[in-house]
Structure formats: C-alpha cells, structure tokens
Structure 1
Amino acid sequence: MEFTSAAARRRYDDIVAVAKDTVVALDFDGTLSPIVEDPDSARIHHDAPDLLVDLAEVVRAVAVITGRPARQALALGGLDEVGDRMGGSGRELFLFGQYGNERWSSTNRRVVSPRPPPGLSSFLRELPGILRRADAAEAYVEEKGLAVAVHTRRLPEPEVASARLLPGLRDAAERHDLMIEPGRLVAEVRAPGMHKGIAVRTLADEVGAAGFVFAGDDLGDLEAFAAVGELRDAGLATLLVCSSSPDAEGPEELVELADVVVPGPDGVLALLRQLVDDARRS
C-alpha cells in the first residue's frame, strides 16, 4: 500500500485509531466491481462480500454510494445478503443509489425513491436524434428510472465518440432543467440538486462519525471527495482512496486529491483488508 504523502500515511493511522466510529463508503463500478462493457453484467468482486462483513466488525458503518439504481446494485452486489450477515455484528449496511436520490439500509429494507424528474421523459424522446447527429446511434442507453446514462464504450474510438456526443447531451439536459454528469466513456443525465457529496455528509451526520473513508474511481465521485475534505476540515479523521488501473486510470482530479491510489477493485479490497487487520490489532 503506497500513500501519496507522509500526511496521507498519518491520515490512515488516524482512521485506524478511530475505526470503531468510522464510516467506510465505497462506489460500486470500478471500486467494488470491475468495469465491464455491459453495465448489466457487472458483479461485485468475489472477495467483497466476506470482506465487507469483516469490515463491519471493526467500523461504525459500511456504505455503498453509487450512480446505479439501488435495486440494481442490491442484485448485482448481493448486498441484501451481505446486510443480513452484518446483523450479527450489530452494524448497518447503507446503500445510496442514483447518487443519493435512492436509499436502502440493512435495517430498513425498503428502497426509498423520489419521482423521476419532469424533464427526463422529454429528454428521452429527443435522445435518438441527438445520438444520430453525433454519429453515435449505436451507443448503449441505460435507463435508470431517475436518470439516463449514455455509454460509448462499445463504439469504435469510444473516447472520440464520447467527446463528439457530449455537447448535444449537455445542451438537451440544460433545456430540460436536468444536469449532466460526464464520466469514463459515459454521460449521465439526471435531476439537479443531489450528488454523492450530500450522501456523504448526510451519513456522517446521522451516525455521528469520527472518521470517514471514501473510495471511488470516476468524476461522479468528485463531490464525495470534496465532502470528505470538508469533514477533514471540521476535525474528522478521513481517508480518500482512488481506484485506478492501467486500462481504466482514475481521473487526474481524483488522483490529485487521493491519499491512496490503488489498482482497481483488487487494490481497494487489499486496502480494506489491511484496515481490518490493523484495527483488530490496535
């Protein structure tokens, strides 16, 4: 495990010292699950369920904060069962779906979700024309209920296609009072007013956290990184983890803010395993 600075190493030690009052929050894709071409085929890392249960024994709470719909993340991650197994430790698993618009927990097993934003259906009607004009008609469109994600990963020259498509998506989103969240070969259009940073602050406040760890891999995690930075300024022990790999490097913005940069989901789990071991010894 390599830290980005001596200060980052000290932050890890501070987290270990307050582990029992720390929240560990994780993105799903690229962090708990490897990035795959078909978002519907993503699965949580095979070692993650056991490790999350072990983690719950030494920290205050574990959370998954994702852009995916909550029900989809529950199914792909087997998180319902993971939450069941955490019950024995008296800890809770939280899930914030669609950037925090949806919420589920292992003690309140109902997904709480708002209505779709009014402009989303109009945006969807326009979307086929936007794709054709950008020569991206074969882009994969993922309808999430509260949002629409447009993936260019399957297209020839996907980065070029993404750059070509983004202006049209941004213009349409603005006209329908929606916001756009560009990511790695994907752009997500959704309602404004909610992001992962709000979920981080809400969770830290609700559980009375003394420490907060967040791990993410893409631009949609920037608000979460910023919120953890605010918690740090308020006196909490914090640790920021960027999940990166040679075929899917983390954005520079995340790398620059991170205390630890790890090689994809394998690296995230290795870091969490080290945290579990160190917390048990402390």
Structure 2
Amino acid sequence: MGSQPHLLPTPATSAGREALAAILAAPERAVIALDFDGTLAEIVPDPEQARAHPGAVPALAALAPKVASVAVITGRPAGVAVRYGGFAGVPGLEHLVVLGHYGAERWDAVTGTVAAPAPHPGVTAARAELPGVLDAHGAWRGTWIEEKGQAVAVHTRRAADPSAAYAALRDPLAALATRHGLILEPGRLVLELRPPGMDKGVALAEYLREVGAGSVLYAGDDLGDLPAFAAVEKLRSDGVPGLLVCSGSTEVPEVWERADVAVPGPAGVVSLLTALAAGL
C-alpha cells in the first residue's frame, strides 16, 4: 500500500479497487469524506497551531466541482475546522460541508453558517473537574486541555513522557466521563470526553443518505476514524462502493490494517486528492 506523488495508487484490496473504479466512472455520485487532524493537517504538539497542509485547499478546490460532495468530518468544532482549514470563501468549495463534533455541528459553505445544538451538561461538569483530576494524578505539567464546546480533550503530546501521561490518565478520565454520562474517545496522545450517540460513522452514514451517494472515499488516521471505516464497510456490504484511506503509516495499526490504501500523512492525502481530481 502506498502512493507516488500525484499518481493514483492501486488499492490493496478488491473492494478498494472496485470503489476507485466506481468513483472514476461516476464522480457526480461520489462523496469524498475526510478527517481533519492527521489527514488534512499535520498532528502538532499544540492543537491550536494545527493548520491544513498548504496543498489541501487547492486539491479540494480542484476536486470538489467534479464530485457530488466533499465533507470534512472532525471532532473539532465545525467553525474551528473551517478557520484552521482555510475553507471559507474558496472558489470551487461552494458546496463543502464540515461536520464538526462528530456530526453534532454542521457548517455549509453555501450559507457560511454553523448549525449546532446546546452543549451537553455533562461536558460542562466534567470540564470543571478536569484540572483537579489531572493534578491528583500528577499529570498537570505538560498536559493541555482543549476546549471544544461540545466536548473537552486532554493532550499529552507536550508532557515529559507523553505515553506515560496518557496511560496514567486513561482510567481516571474514563471514570470522569462515566460519572457525567459521557464517553471517552482515545486518540493519538489525546483523550477526549464527549457526549454519546454521535461518532464519525453515524455522521458519515447520515450524510451519505442525505446526498444519495453512489460511492464514497473516506480518509482518516486515528481511532476516532474507525466508526467511519465501519460505516463504509457496512455500505460496501449493501452494494455501495467505498474506498478506505489511511493517512500515515503504522502509528495506529487498527486504521492501517483496515485501509485499502495507505498514504504518508497529509502530504500523501493531498497527492491522492490531486491525482483523483486530475483523473476525473
């Protein structure tokens, strides 16, 4: 699995090859769905410094007019992903949709507005307790609390021993989440507390039904993308071709092992999108 710059890779699976052929044959029925962090933007120590790869917006703008839709599905607030991605007001991206907070929020380029529900009360309560939990487990120094409105996340990438801090916090944060009716979503040196009921799989499946997709490409890099992978696999069993792309190599083996194509991070995703746009 892999790709050369701006050449379409050959998927490693027959289902992936079938899906790529379907996208190329009928792009007007294809939805291109993408995670943000780690897929369109490099993973960085400070999540507030994450920005889309410089080639991402040009690649998406070249591709979007040729397909049914492009959707960015992220755990971030939709407005933050739009800002960090530079997606607003871009010619060619008039019909881009950003599904933020795992689909709980939605930004449409055509209106430029975000539709969002009221925050879950458990998130507010858990956020208030978080500093004390981190302090009690000796994990305050170097950890980073990311406010996400509909969720709250703790990053350990800047800790002296990121993996040890992550391991030390996983059980206490799981208990905190349970106390407040939330779920704990583990990721690449990040632990996120968020309301149940929405994940990237639910968001993707609902959006594909809404637009009547005939095929789908989904690209992601982390454990939070596995529900979207599962949604694509379910669609494939129902006869809708789907292509699964892993952004990155083997850092998250659960994603890499289930992908039809693996590309080297956001630069590889940009190359894939560029090649796809050129091939349509």
| Number of the residue aligned with 2:13 | 5
Q: Determine the C-alpha separation between the residues in 2 that align with 1:225 and 1:137.
A: 34
Q: Determine the C-alpha separation between the residues in 2 that align with 1:40 and 1:112.
A: 22
| Number of the residue aligned with 1:276 | 277
- Tell me which amino acid in the other structure corresponds to 2:216: F
Q: Is the 8 A contact 2:87 2:93 kept in 1?
A: no
Q: Determine the C-alpha separation between the residues in 1 that align with 2:88 and 2:15.
A: 37
TM-score by length of 2: 0.93
| Number of the residue aligned with 2:267 | 266
Matches within 5 A, 1:76-95: 76-82=84-90, 84-87=91-94, 92-95=95-98
1:104 aligns with 2:107: yes
1:132 aligns with 2:140: no
> Identity rate of aligned residues, in percent?
48
1:116 aligns with 2:119: yes
Three-state SS of the structure 2 residue aligned to 1:121 is helix
Q: Determine the C-alpha separation between the residues in 2 that align with 1:8 and 1:212.
A: 11
| Number of the residue aligned with 1:43 | 51
- Tell me which amino acid in the other structure corresponds to 1:202: E
Q: Determine the C-alpha separation between the residues in 2 that align with 1:251 and 1:4.
A: 18
Structure 2 unmatched runs, 5+: 4-8
**How far did residue 133 of structure 1 move?**
2.3
Root mean square deviation of aligned Cα:
1.3
**How far did residue 7 of structure 1 move?**
4.3
Structure 1 unmatched runs, 5+: none
Q: Is the 8 A contact 2:177 2:184 kept in 1?
A: yes
Q: Is the 8 A contact 2:155 2:191 kept in 1?
A: yes
Q: Determine the C-alpha separation between the residues in 1 that align with 2:202 and 2:139.
A: 33
**How far did residue 250 of structure 1 move?**
4.0
**How far did residue 149 of structure 1 move?**
0.6
| Number of the residue aligned with 2:39 | 31
**How far did residue 180 of structure 1 move?**
0.8
- Tell me which amino acid in the other structure corresponds to 1:110: T
How many aligned residue pairs are there? 271
TM-score by length of 1: 0.92
Q: Is the 8 A contact 1:4 1:261 kept in 2?
A: no
- Tell me which amino acid in the other structure corresponds to 1:267: G
